[in-house]
A and B are shown apart, each in its own frame.
Chain A
Amino acid sequence: MLLERPKKMLNKARKRAQVSDTVTWIVATIIIIAILLIFLYISSVLSGENAVEKKSSSVFSGGNSAEVVDWIALKTSIAYNLNDKNKEVIDKWIGENG
């Protein structure tokens, strides 16, 4: 009879430890799943933006410079070397294109 009390107490303590262990694992699982869902969401959002940036109209200016210039704008500036009358009107018209 005297030994039964400590045994009961030990069982109770074991049960409590088991419950806290289980809760820890459940919380850890929820966190892992939440992180996975966040990554899934991010990758699905990023996958929708697969449009390739438009840099085709640009050409390298030459030399070591990585600077790019607009191919069509280059044509206009070459034409200005031949005749730059009405430059403002022409620039305004070209600018209307945005």
Chain B
Amino acid sequence: MDKKATDKLISVYWFAILILTAAAIVYMVSIFYSQPYDIRELEAGILANKIADCVSQAGKLDSNLIDNQGKFNQNFSDNLLNICKINFNAENTNNWKDDQYYFSLDFFKVDDSTISIFNIKKGNLNLASSCEIQKTKEYIKLAKCVEKRFYAVGNDQYLIKILSVVRKTEKNVKQS
């Protein structure tokens, strides 16, 4: 083979390698960025923080939630979403019908932290089962649960447990 023919062959080879490398880079970038970011845990954490802020300010339980006799106000519980300025509106995608959120709020006395003395539940109750299932192992396609506990003072000492759950699987997990 003469030199001219060899040079031609090598330039074809180099073009083939160049195209192969470029294609591989494009593919790598596309698979890396096509994965959605899973922010459900963050969202559930923000929801829990918002609820915590609503029921307890400066270490004290909200005066509308509990009276001086230590009685919990059922009206506060019924209107919690309005009072705390929380709504469960979700994006209008994947046939979501504002059923992507759930939270429960439990109050305990310090001397008996096993029995809840007052409880508030809002949102899609079906999501609560996801938390039970994931107690031992995490499943990416189930709803994300965040549990937060804190202490606040009213006419007595109270322990508060917030469980917040966000589903939105279709938007946060790649569907395969």
Decide yes or no whether B123 CB sits under 8 A from chain A. no
Across the interface, do A33 and B20 meet the contact criterion of CB distance under 8 Å? yes
Decide yes or no whether B97 CB sits under 8 A from chain A. no
1/0 per residue, CB under 8 A from B, across A36-64: the answer is 10011001101110111010110000000
Contact partners of A83 in chain B: CB under 8 A: 153, 157
Decide yes or no whether B88 CB sits under 8 A from chain A. no
Q: A44-B31, A56-B45 are in contact. Are A79 and B153 (CB under 8 A)?
A: yes
Decide yes or no whether A82 CB sits under 8 A from chain B. yes
Whole-angstrom distance from the CB of A62 to the nearest CB of chain B? 17
Interface centre among A33, A39, A50 (most CB of B within 10 A): A50
Across the interface, do A86 and B110 meet the contact criterion of CB distance under 8 Å? yes
Across the interface, do A36 and B42 meet the contact criterion of CB distance under 8 Å? no
Q: A46-B32, A72-B49, A75-B59 are in contact. Are A56 and B42 (CB under 8 A)?
A: yes
Bound-complex Cα distance A83 to B61 (A): 13
Across the interface, do A82 and B31 meet the contact criterion of CB distance under 8 Å? no
Bound-complex Cα distance A54 to B47 (A): 13
- From A53, which residue of chain B is reached at the shortest CB distance? B42
For A, the interface residue count at a CB cutoff of 8 angstroms equals 38
1/0 per residue, CB under 8 A from A, across B43-59: the answer is 00110110010001011
- One of A82, A89, A93 near B149 (C-beta < 8 A): A93
Total of A-B residue pairs, C-beta within 8 Å: 109
User: Looking at chain B's contact residues, is the secondary structure mostly helix, strand, loop, or mixed?
Assistant: mixed
Q: How large is the interface on B (under 10, 10 to 19, 20 to 34, 35 or more residues)?
A: 35 or more
- One of B1, B17, B33, B151 near A94 (C-beta < 8 A): B151
Whole-angstrom distance from the CB of B86 to the nearest CB of chain A? 16
Contact partners of B32 in chain A: CB under 8 A: 43, 46-47
- From B49, which residue of chain A is reached at the shortest CB distance? A71
Decide yes or no whether B35 CB sits under 8 A from chain A. yes
Interface residues of A in 63-82 (CB under 8 A from B): 71-73, 75-76, 78-82
Decide yes or no whether A18 CB sits under 8 A from chain B. yes
Which B residues have a C-beta under 8 Å from some C-beta of A?
Answer: 1, 13, 17, 20-21, 24, 27-29, 31-39, 41-42, 45-46, 48-49, 52, 56, 58-60, 108, 110-111, 113, 147-153, 157, 159, 161
Q: List 11 A-B contacts (CB under 8 A).
A: A36-B21, A47-B33, A47-B34, A51-B38, A54-B42, A75-B52, A75-B150, A79-B56, A79-B153, A86-B111, A97-B148
